[in-house]
Each structure stands twice: as structure tokens, then as C-alpha cells.
Structure 1
Amino acid sequence: MFIDLLAQALPLAATDEAGILSSLATQIWQWGLVALGIGLVIFVHELGHFVAAKSFGVKCEKFYVGFDVPIQIGPIKFPRTLGKFQYGETEYGIGIVPLGGYVKMLGQDDDPRKAEEEAKRIRVAGDDSEGDEDVNDAAPAQLDPRSFPAKPVWQRMIIISAGVVMNLITGILFAAIAYGYGVGYNPSIIGGVTPGGPAWQAGIEPGGQVVSVGDFHDDQMHFREMRMAILTEGLDNPTKPIDLAIRYDDGIRKYSLKTASHPENADVRMIGIVSPTSLELGSKTMAMPGSIADSVLTSEDAGATIVAYDGQPVKQDLIVPSTPFFNYLYSHPTKTISLTLKRTDGSEHQVELPPQQAKMLGARWAMSPITRLVEDGAAAKAGVQVGDVITAFNGNQEIDAYLMPLELISATEPVSMTLRRGEGEAAKTIEVELTPQEALQTHAPDSQISGEIAINRFGFSFHPLPIVASVLPNLLAGDAPAPDSELQPGDELQAVRLITPDSELPKQLQDKRFEPLVAQLRKGWEKDGPMPWGAVIETVQYLPEGTELQVLATRSPKGRVIESQVVVQQDERVWFERGIGLTASESMQKATSVTEAMTLGFREAKRRLQDVFRFLRMATQGRVKMRHVGGPLAIMDLAKQEAERGISPQLLFLTMLSMNLAILNFLPIPALDGGHMVFLIAEAIRGKKLNEQLEMRLTMAGVLMILLLMVVVFANDILRLL
């Protein structure tokens, strides 16, 4: 969405020389941490093989992190290694290709082309079995006692599995150290519910903490874990309700509700719970540029905390202290609110936050029929049904999708509504009276995700439509009568895009921080695109007055295409959002003893293992799309993001990577540790080795499969970046 892109772009990079040098040094340091972390996971895996092999007297000829393969492009020949040295009988080094690592043991080589050569090399001189047609059926060959094949099956099994075991152990240790430092996380507390979503329909209120999803229980559940549990349960059983337990200040409430497809990604299941926001202003971005908050907050307010509003102190003993504030803020959109801020120096400061004046495109917009109802909500109790069309409320027949929520959001008296139910000759008019109920409104009524608008007090939702309900004067046309090319009531918008040249853009939009927003506006909004119409109206709120947009619309009854130009202009009504830049709510989980750290580390490792098994299960069931699969580039990008957040997030990333490496490397695919283990199990059952030619062919097939997979995931990473 446009606003999401804008929020991501807000921190502006330093442009002076010192800032550039500092930024470059930071980037180098972070990439160094990424390389060190990933290299450490690979090193530990290979160290497991190495130590186990040495323990059983196997000669290890090479120990490499990365692969030392020859690479040549035309006349340019790259070095095989970034560095190597010989110590004793083993060569240690870092290969030029950073896609893994290996330990080269005497008599063992993952390259099937060298298998026969390696088999000959370890036969003791004088052994005449070399000429046999079928070595497996002849007397056992005399092998070098320090070679890998010469060792008993059980020893080879330990050597092969030692890498995975080391990854499992160190994964637990990484997580334990992270919890020793302290892990910051977003708790699974409910900041709000998405209008029209399953949680909203079930009447789930903000201000509680989810402690149970299905069979998954955790009193300190992370929002990420909760979301993953809901996603998995929803994918496994889309039609089966999920049991949810939520702890509120007055006790535990239990719900059972079905998941719904995410509006932007049908493959993702959700129930519509929104993560909470704290009452702490951002240290860099305290307000959205051009908003009313931007005009009243100063640099001295950076990092300040809201401790009171209109004389009401924030209650810190609540599960979600910010809930009453947000409910007050969004329930009083036309009121100037006095905020008491506690600055970082400890002093308190008071600011007056006026309403945010809305902006518009010179038109009012129609609303869809009612899309959803809250169970036992005011609308449901009054007999309102999904599909009903509101034609009037409190006698007002001028329906505006954005003006009606403003009038109903804080209503305390019953509201009369006229509804049209049914179509054509079967349509009938129904009069109902809705008595508002107590319901928290901790988010603006409109949803950025689904595009729905919901008034919680009355328990119904609808979509704003790109259909003109009424027209206001167009600044481009002045007071002259609207020409045929201007918008008229009933026109349905098909596309909207920015047409003002970059050189003529207002100063606010020429800021580099707005480049992603301007790029999206240039590309434009289309009716059948993924972005809901409500996102366009929200984007307009952040554009300077006078910004010109091109509009394509169709006009009934013939569907003639109308091309018009409109400008962003100030509206007489207000907007719910006032542009306050608040940080996400975060908690800290820190172990108080070594035992607790190890317990939390084991739990973290176990959950990451479950994630891998869950992914593999869904992949085999065809529920994982290629866009969900990340390769080396995606891993590097994620590793860098975690390194930027600090030592604990990076350690938890290494735990996740260790669990992935352990399980994926132990899959029964020839050339991987799991494939070797399958061969060893077969040898133990049969009492003799598999046919070497068969094993070589299977290994070659495994290598080709892995190479094909690498090509696919690399291509997927590159396409994702384009």
C-alpha cells in the first residue's frame, strides 16, 4: 500500500561525508556479522563430522567452509579459495563458493565422478579384487584402515549424523545465549481487530493477550508465534474453527472461529488480529510529514511517552496500557485532545492535538451493501442482514462512505436506518433502529488491508466504492459549469494516477523519503488491482493540496470512458488519523539463570524445528508456493535485517538457520547426509554394501536434483528483488 511504502521510506540517509563514511562502516560491519554468523553455522556442522571421524581414526584430508571449486569465465580464472593452510594431515580453508562446506575423508567423495577413483585409492596394495567384475559379490577388498569405508557401519552412521547433532546442540546454545542477553519481542496482545475479519465478527475486543491457539499454549506468547500457529491451523483445516484463549484484565475468554484468506494473499490464513502500538513516540519519525501531529510536535519530543490525555492518566497496570487512549482518540475525531508527554530528559510537556483536516478529490463516494456483522452486535440484534443497502440514516439520504462513520463513531443515542433489501421487483424497504453498544474503537474505522469500514458500536461493515455519490467544485474547473469530461454522480472510477511532473511537484513530494510513494502514484491505482479503493483515499490524506491526478471513469448507461483531471483539496470534514508516529509495543524476555536460559533455548530450537517440519509437510501437500521459498539471497537479506537489530535477534536467526540446516541436510536425498544414512541403513540390513554403480548413479541423481533446486531458488530470489 502507498502508506506502507511511505512509512518504510521515512528514515532519510545522511548525505554529508561523515554520514556516508559512518554508514559505509556500519554496512561493512553488519555484512561481516552476517558472514561470520552463517559461516559459524556451517563450520559447526562440518566440525561435527570432523571430530567424529577423527575419533574413529578416519583420515580427514580437507576441512572447508565454502566449496573450493574451479571457476573460470572466459580468460578470467578465479582462485579456488579465499585462504587455506595445512596442519598435520588436513588442509583447512575457506572456499570461493559460499554455499556450504565439507570434510573430505579418505575413501569418501560426494562427487560421483570421483567415486571409482577414490575406491581404487583406498585398496591396500596387492589386493587383487580390483579385477573382479562385481566387487560386491567377491571376497571383501582389503581397505586402508584409516579410510571411511573401512569403518564399521555404526561408526560411519555416527560420523554422518554428527553434523546434524552439532547443529541441533549449537542451535539450542545460540537461543540460550540470546535469552541470556534478553530477547525483545512483540507480545501476542490485541491492539485491534481488522474490520470485517473473523475476530471482529466474533466480537473479540482489543486489550487482551492471546495465550492459546489450538494446542499451542504459552503465557508469554510472541505475536509471531501466534500468527504462525493461526496460519498453520488455517492451512491444515480451512473449514475447522480454531480454539483461542485470550487473557483480559478481568480473566480468560475463549473463542472458536474460522480463519479467512488474507485480502492481499489468498494463500495466507488469518483471523484479523492487529499487533499493538505503544505510547512512545518514534525517536526519528514522531509524525507523518504534513500531518497535524507534525505541526505540533518538535524534535524535543522525539522518544517521548504519552502519559496522559485530556487529564486522564495512562494506566500502566493494564495488559495493554494504550487501549483506552486509542479508543478515546478514534472515538473523538473532531475534538482537540490535550496530550501530556514525558520527554526523554524526564520533564513533562503538554501539547494540543487538533483534529486532522481531511483532503479529497472533489467528490463523495458511495458505499457498498453491508458486508459483515458482529455476532450479537447492535446491527444483528436490530435485524440487519448482510447484503442490505443503507439508503438513509437519521433521515439523511445523502450517503457518504466516509462521512457516515464520523457521525456514528461516538453516537450514544439510537440511530434510525432505512434499508433496501433484495433486488429489482423483489426489493423492499425496511426501517430499523440501532442502539449503540459499548465497543472499543482502537483503530480507525477503515482497514488498510481489506478496505472495509466498520463502526464497532453498531457492529456492521461495508466497503467504500469508487463510485461518485456527489460532486464538489473542481479546483481546475473553478466556478464554471462542469464540462462533460468532469466527474458526475454515478461515474465509476477505473484508474487514478499522478500526472504532475516531478519538477512541479510540491516540495513535500520532492523529498527522497517520498520516492516510493511517488513511484506508486505514477504507476497508479486500477479498479481490478490488488489495492482497495480505501487505500487511495488514505493516500490522498498525505498529499499536498494542489497535487494533480488523472482519473479514468466509466459513465452509465453506455459505459463511456471519461478522462478527467482532479486536484487534492481540503475537505470540510476531518480524518481519523492525526499522523502520530508511535512505536510498536515490545516486551523483553530475559533468562534469570543458566537453567532458565537453556530451557528457553530448547523451547526456541524445538519451535524452529517444528516450523521446518511444518513447511515440509505443507510443501508435500502442495500448499507452499514458489514465492514462499527463499534461497541464499533471501537468507543473506534476512540475516542482515536481524544483524541490524542486535545480537539477540541475530542469535535467534542462527538458531533458525541451524534447525533448517540440520533437517534439510538429513533429508533422504543422495549426496546429502540423509542420503548417506539411507545407504548405510541398507548396508546394515543387507550385511554388505550396495552395488557401487547403483550408489554412484543415485548420488549423481541427487547432485543434479540439488543443483536444479539451487537454480530455482536463486532465480526465485532474483525475481523477488526485481
Structure 2
Amino acid sequence: MSSFDSSFFSLLLAATEEPSAMWSLLTSTWLWTKVALGIGLVIFVHELGHFLAAKLFGVKCEKFYIGFDVPIQIGPIKFPRTLGKFTYGETEYGIGIIPLGGYVKMLGQDDDPRKAEEEAKRIRLAQEAGDDNVGPPALDPRSYPAKTVWQRMIIISAGVVMNVITGVLFAAIAYFYGVPYTPAIVGGVTPGGPAWQAGIEPGGQVVSVADLPDDDQLHFNEMKLAIMTEGMDTPEEPIDVRLSYGSETRDYQLTPQSHPLEPSLRLIGIHGPTGTKLTQKLFAMPNSSAAKVLTDDDSEAEIIAFNGKSLDESALMPITPVLSEIVSSPSEPIEMTLVTSAGDQRKVTLAPQPEKDFGLRFAVGEITALIKGGPAEKAGMKLGDTIVAVDGDQDLDAYSMLLRNWIPGTAVQLTVRRGTGTDAVDKTLSVVPTAAVQTKSPVSELGDTMGIQALGLAYAPTATVIALTGTDAEQDVSLQSADGKLTSDGKSNSDDEAGSASQTADAKATLKVGDVIREVRIRFPDANSRQSLADSLGEETIKLLTKGWELGPSMPLGVLMETIQVLPVGTEVIVTGTRPPEGDVVESTLLIRQSDRFWYDRGINFASVDAIQTADSFSGALALGWREGVRRLGNVGRFLGMLITGKVQPKFLGGPIRIAQMASYEAERGISAQLLFLTMLSMNLAILNFLPIPALDGGHMMFLIAEAIRGKRVDEALEMRLTFAGVLALLALMIFVFANDILHL
């Protein structure tokens, strides 16, 4: 309709095999062609709605454009206004050089305030010469302003209506064809999170959450979006979650927790389900037990049995006992029977994986969460307690607690310190471990919390050194000189990209008990070792490790220690810390080595569970399409409401760049995923274009409603000023979302 109609779709919530070079180019070209066609189709149907409604009422349409045909000149260079155009009948059709929207130019209608007066003169019919009784000049009957208010309302709203209709149809076609999705099955819970505290077990199916009705085919992403939206809108209110475990239904009320790195995002800590197939790539982490027994032929292989027991294929997540065995029995070998993608069956044994460390042990932090009704809570443990001994053994560290064998039914005596300073008291609690199914790492994905499911408690690890294992000679500890020039192996501090282990001039001594670790850097023994890991973990991770891993909320100790497990033995770890109370800087170069303990992971990676939801009839597809459209409309409306009230930060707005990225990702997943993305885009465009902002369809409708009430048109000068203000506001918004996109690339 107007030059800003479809450009405003950029206001969108962003809620991320190696063929031959020619084939790669062709694949990439086809992918981006699909993206352009998809987004172009959404814009096209919006403008087609305006066009058809205008033609219905006899309005002359002078232009129909996808993209904007504005003149662009940089110095002496003039760019073409269009990528192509032609004239059919009285209308010029074309594709503009700027792909940020589209418009239909009708006789007598122009959103550019600078042309408003000229346009008004152009559609007025001349008076008969000399006839003083003739009233004001009549309007061209084929012009937009000459039509009645109700006709103009239909023309203005037709674009939005078309977007809603086609959005529903896009979704209906997708469901008729079959939509791939990850089911809303509890694959695991985050240690210390709301779901973990409520005692939610893996293997349950989420059938409803928040305001989503019961649905045995609820998509995991739909559940996650509902939780995030509820968490941002009503952060202090619990979220209703209903789970089904076979014939048993369990209801929970979970108050979401803030994401440590993004407090405005609130989550309940439920992970998606894990499948029985290995991933296509990186199915075995480097330098792991899995890497020693799995080969390239095992890519996407399926596990059908372990330790002589077949998996229960009727279970929602058949791999559950395998995952639980890996986490709960780190010192025991695990035999797995797998079927390769070629159909071959073979057995492999995952040996226990020795823990790797760099000679430091870290303190157990305060208790941060307890499972409701769990062993620790029943025994009288409280938040803020710190475990200082287990059965009288005070030789504890953050990881020894995780790797300990907690025998179900056998009571352990936990000594906890309660309070601080002179008020601190030690209490001994008798805690009886329970049998627990744990399918995810006992360390949260952000590495800030460690959970012991069998005890029903979670604590925060600290970066305070409580022990140095072995002698300096055994550790190959390199004491840094005060001037920071040489390490004990004689290398200068410019020997490699990591620099010297001592770049801080005031480094005074080697690390000792009580020091607090601040930064860790890795120095690889050779270029081949570095490149091998870069191929697996990514170049950015390797750069982070070699330039300096600064411990903190974004780079916690838990994540660092899990990363250490994939590095080769003998890799140098340059550790920088501070010494209380003065805060003196201390530095040491240590070596990664195998400890005498076994790790809770063996480096094997399984793909997520995939399913396909297909409508059983055309009417069923339409019903699912309608449901999808209504949900997306509701999401956009609610998001805008939260944006206005400040519950959503502007940084979550995405513009054309992020839209293109999202469109590319969905197009790569297949036609159904792309169609659902176009449904979301269509509903965004429909709602956003109908906001009461001059220069948008909603602004035009606002003027028309005022005209209908007053019985005459709004003062043209006022309308022009408001339109000009709306244009400036939209231009400012476009600049903001472009900048926002670039900052978050």
C-alpha cells in the first residue's frame, strides 16, 4: 500500500558436509533464492491485498512494486532504481533496488508528505471556465480520496487481511506436508533449576504449559517460547506445567529463574529429549573414551542395547538408562551395541574416562538449591549451608563431591557449616541417598551450579584453590620470576600466541592454597594439536582459550573444567590468580594431566529426538494452520505490549539482517519449516502494519475512523504533519534495528 507498509515487517522478535566448491556455491545460491522468494512472497500478498481491493472499487493503481525504486547516487555513480519493471495496462510492475518492503501507488495517495500537495492538485478536476457557481474542484472519480470512507477502509485493511489468510494457509500446507519438530519431552533438568528443585524426572511428556492447552504433540520450541514469554511478562508468577508419565499425570507450578547472563530471560530448566542415534558430526569429543572406540562409520549410528540389555523402544526416551549409567557410574565400563547407518551391527565398550585437571582442587561453595522433599531437605539442610565433611572426611573439593559413589539407601553423615564469621556453627546431618535417574551433566550448562541428584542438593563451585595435588616437580609447576620474562622451561613471553605465562609485572609467587583463580590461558604443544581441536571445537573457542579465559558469569569454572577434558595431556595451562587479603597477583604454568578419578562424561554425543506432525486430512491441516496463526498473532501482540511496558528490552528487536538469518536457517531445515517461518512473518507484518502510526496502514485507518466520526476529512495540513512525523519515526526505527542487528551479529 504505502512506501512504509512492508518495510515495517523488520520489527521482529529475534525470541542460530563439505561438498565440492561448485556444489557448495550452487547449494548456497539456491538456499538464499528460497529465502528471497519466501520473504518476497509475504510482501507480495500484502500488497496484492491492497491492489485487488483498490481495483474492486475502481481505483487507478499506477505502481505495484516489491522493494523500493528510490534513486541512489554515490558521487558520480548512479544506481538503477529497479531490478526490472514492465507496464501492463495502466499499472507499472517492478522490483525496486532496495529490498526492504513494497508498495502500491494509487492515484491520489502518497505517503511522502513532500508530494502530498502536488498529489492533491493532480487528482482535482478543473472548473468550467467563467462559471462562478461551480463549487470546489471535484476529485478524479478513480482516485483513492474520491472513494467513500468504508471503501477506503476495506482497501487499507486488505493487505493485513491477506497476510492473515495466507499465514494460516502457509501453516496448513506445512502441516499437511508434515512438520518436523522436537517433542516436548523432558530429556533432563538443569541442576539447581526450578524443574530440578520440583523433582521433575526425565522421560515425562509436557502436555500443557502456561496458557497452551493440553496437547500430546506439543513442540519443545513452542513450550520454550511460552515459558520465556510468561517469564518476561509475569516474572514473579509461577508457571503451570502438566506432565504425563504413561497413565500418570503430574501438575507443577514452577517459578522461572533469571538466566545468569541475561536476567530478563527467565527459564525453568527443562532440556529437550535425547535420541538413540549418534550425531552426524562430532559424535565423539576429542581425546575422550568415545573417540578411542568410535570411527567415522559410526556417524548417525543407533544404540540398540547396552550391557547386554535391549533398549525399551516403547519408552518416550529409550536412551535414558544409557545416559543415567554414564553419569552415575563413571568408574564402570559400558558395553553398547550399535547399528551403523550402513546396517552393520557391532559392539563397543566405553572405558571409564579419567578426569583431567591441572593440579588444582577447588572449594565447595554454598548450597544454592534443594530438591523439594529430597534427602538433603528431609535431613534439615538449608540454603546457604556449606558442606565441610562427608563421614568425617574433610578432604573435599567441588568435583570430588560429584564423582563420589553415593549408594542408595546407605546413610552418609554430612557436616555443614551454617552462618558466617563468629556466628558460624557446624552441624552433622544424616542424609540417605536415593536412586536417581540423571541424564544430563551434573554441572549446569552455564557451569555455575553443581547438582547431586542422589542427595537432592546443588551448590556453586568456587575458584578458590583448596589443594595442589602432587609436588611441583610432578606438576611441572613453572614459578614465574618477578620481572615476568622467563618461564622455567626457558621460553620467552613472546614464544607463541598465548604469550608468556607472566605478562603481569607484579607476579610474585606460585599459586598456593587460598588463592583465587582469575584467568586461565592454554598453550598448545604444537600447531597440529591446536588445529586438530580448532576443527572440532571451533576457532573461536581455541582463541578464547589461548588469549585468556577470564573466570566469571560468562566463563564459569564448570565450563572451563569440562573444556579441559578434551585437551591433550601435557598441554600447558597458564593460571593467573590473586592472593587474599592484599590481592597480590600470582601466576603459574601447570600441565594438564590425568588424575586418579573418573569423569562423569565419556565424550559421546547423541542427536536430539525428531518427530513429524502430519495432519490426517485437509480440514485437520486447516485447523492446525488456524491454531498456528492465532498463536503467532498472540505472540506478536503480547511482545509489543511487553515492549511498551518495558518488560522486554529493545535489544531483542531484530531487523532485516536477523530476519534473513532466521529465514536462512528455517529454509535449510526444509519446506515445512520455511512455511511456518513465513506464517510467523505474515502475522508480524499484519499486526505491525496495523499499528496506529501515520504512514502505516493503521495510521491511515486512524484518519479514516476520525473522518467517519466527524463527517469530514481530518485537516490536510495536520494529517501531513502527522504523516511526516510518522515517517521520521519509522526511519529512526529502521536505523535502530539495523544497528541492533549489526551489534548482535
Query: How does the TM-score come out when normalised to structure 2?
Result: 0.91
Q: What residue identity is the alignment partner of 1:88?
A: G
- Counting only pairs closer than 5 Å after superposition, residues 68-217 of structure 1 correspond to structure 2 as 68-126=69-127, 141-217=137-213
- Determine helix, strand or coil for the equivalent of 2:668: helix
Aligned to 2:591: 567
Q: What residue identity is the alignment partner of 2:448?
A: G
* 2:598 pairs with 1:556: no
Cα distance, 1:373 vs structure 2: 0.9
Higher alpha-carbon deviation: 295-304 or 77-86? 295-304
Q: What residue identity is the alignment partner of 1:588?
A: I
Aligned to 1:43: 44
Cα distance, 1:179 vs structure 2: 0.8
Tell me the distance in 2 between the aligned counterparts of 1:645 and 1:720: 23
Aligned to 2:353: 356
Tell me the distance in 1 between the aligned counterparts of 2:319 and 2:656: 40
Contact 2:233–2:647 under 8 Å retained in 1? no
For residues 632-655 of structure 1, what are the alpha-carbon distances to aligned partners after superposition, in whole Å with 9 as ceiling and x for unaligned? 011011111111111111111110
Contact 1:498–1:550 under 8 Å retained in 2? yes
Cα distance, 1:499 vs structure 2: 4.2
Q: What residue identity is the alignment partner of 1:363?
A: L
* 2:251 pairs with 1:254: yes
For residues 476-506 of structure 1, what are the alpha-carbon distances to aligned partners after superposition, in whole Å with 9 as ceiling and x for unaligned? 7767897873221111111112345874754
* 2:683 pairs with 1:654: no
Aligned to 1:604: 628
Q: What residue identity is the alignment partner of 1:686?
A: R
Tell me the distance in 1 between the aligned counterparts of 2:281 and 2:452: 33
Tell me the distance in 1 between the aligned counterparts of 2:729 and 2:131: 31
Contact 2:277–2:302 under 8 Å retained in 1? yes
Higher alpha-carbon deviation: 73-82 or 388-397? 388-397
Aligned to 1:637: 661
Cα distance, 1:85 vs structure 2: 0.3
- Determine helix, strand or coil for the equivalent of 2:173: helix
Cα distance, 1:557 vs structure 2: 3.9
Aligned to 2:3: none
Aligned to 1:401: 398
For residues 49-79 of structure 1, what are the alpha-carbon distances to aligned partners after superposition, in whole Å with 9 as ceiling and x for unaligned? 1111111111111000000000001111100
Q: What residue identity is the alignment partner of 2:68?
A: F
* 2:704 pairs with 1:680: yes
Tell me the distance in 1 between the aligned counterparts of 2:437 and 2:66: 56
Tell me the distance in 2 between the aligned counterparts of 1:320 and 1:478: 43
Cα distance, 1:564 vs structure 2: 1.6
Aligned to 2:265: 268
Q: What residue identity is the alignment partner of 1:209?
A: Q
For residues 104-159 of structure 1, what are the alpha-carbon distances to aligned partners after superposition, in whole Å with 9 as ceiling and x for unaligned? 11111111111111111111122699999xxxxx9564111111111111111111
Tell me the distance in 1 between the aligned counterparts of 2:711 and 2:534: 75
Cα distance, 1:326 vs structure 2: 1.6
In structure 2, do the counterparts of structure 1 residues 131 and 72 end up closer, same or farther at CA, with 3 Å as the change threshold?
Answer: farther
For residues 580-629 of structure 1, what are the alpha-carbon distances to aligned partners after superposition, in whole Å with 9 as ceiling and x for unaligned? 12111122101121111111111111111111001101001112212211
Aligned to 2:505: none
- Counting only pairs closer than 5 Å after superposition, residues 268-347 of structure 1 correspond to structure 2 as 268-347=265-344
In structure 2, do the counterparts of structure 1 residues 649 and 409 end up closer, same or farther at CA, with 3 Å as the change threshold?
Answer: farther
- Counting only pairs closer than 5 Å after superposition, residues 230-249 of structure 1 correspond to structure 2 as 230-249=227-246
Out of 544, 547, 551, the position equivalent to 2:568 is: 544
Aligned to 1:4: none
Cα distance, 1:512 vs structure 2: 7.3
Aligned residues: 702
Tell me the distance in 2 between the aligned counterparts of 1:510 and 1:392: 41
Contact 2:411–2:431 under 8 Å retained in 1? yes
Q: What residue identity is the alignment partner of 1:697?
A: R
Contact 2:366–2:386 under 8 Å retained in 1? yes
In structure 2, do the counterparts of structure 1 residues 478 and 66 end up closer, same or farther at CA, with 3 Å as the change threshold?
Answer: closer
Cα distance, 1:509 vs structure 2: 3.1
Query: How does the TM-score come out when normalised to structure 1?
Result: 0.93
Contact 1:183–1:589 under 8 Å retained in 2? yes
Tell me the distance in 1 between the aligned counterparts of 2:421 and 2:647: 42
Out of 680, 687, 695, the position equivalent to 1:663 is: 687
Q: What residue identity is the alignment partner of 2:679?
A: T
Tell me the distance in 1 between the aligned counterparts of 2:132 and 2:402: 89
- Determine helix, strand or coil for the equivalent of 2:206: strand
Cα distance, 1:526 vs structure 2: 2.2
* 2:689 pairs with 1:692: no
Tell me the distance in 2 between the aligned counterparts of 1:541 and 1:494: 20
Cα distance, 1:346 vs structure 2: 3.1
Aligned to 1:593: 617
Q: What residue identity is the alignment partner of 2:197?
A: Q
Aligned to 1:380: 377
Higher alpha-carbon deviation: 175-184 or 386-395? 386-395
In structure 2, do the counterparts of structure 1 residues 409 and 701 end up closer, same or farther at CA, with 3 Å as the change threshold?
Answer: farther
Tell me the distance in 2 between the aligned counterparts of 1:335 and 1:528: 34
Higher alpha-carbon deviation: 483-492 or 351-360? 483-492
Q: What residue identity is the alignment partner of 2:515?
A: D
Out of 521, 528, 534, the position equivalent to 1:497 is: 521
In structure 2, do the counterparts of structure 1 residues 157 and 670 end up closer, same or farther at CA, with 3 Å as the change threshold?
Answer: same
For residues 216-262 of structure 1, what are the alpha-carbon distances to aligned partners after superposition, in whole Å with 9 as ceiling and x for unaligned? 21221111111122222222222222221111124100111211101
- Determine helix, strand or coil for the equivalent of 1:663: helix
Aligned to 2:5: none
* 2:76 pairs with 1:56: no
Contact 2:49–2:161 under 8 Å retained in 1? yes
Identity over aligned pairs, percent: 55
Tell me the distance in 2 between the aligned counterparts of 1:130 and 1:567: 102
Aligned to 1:431: 428
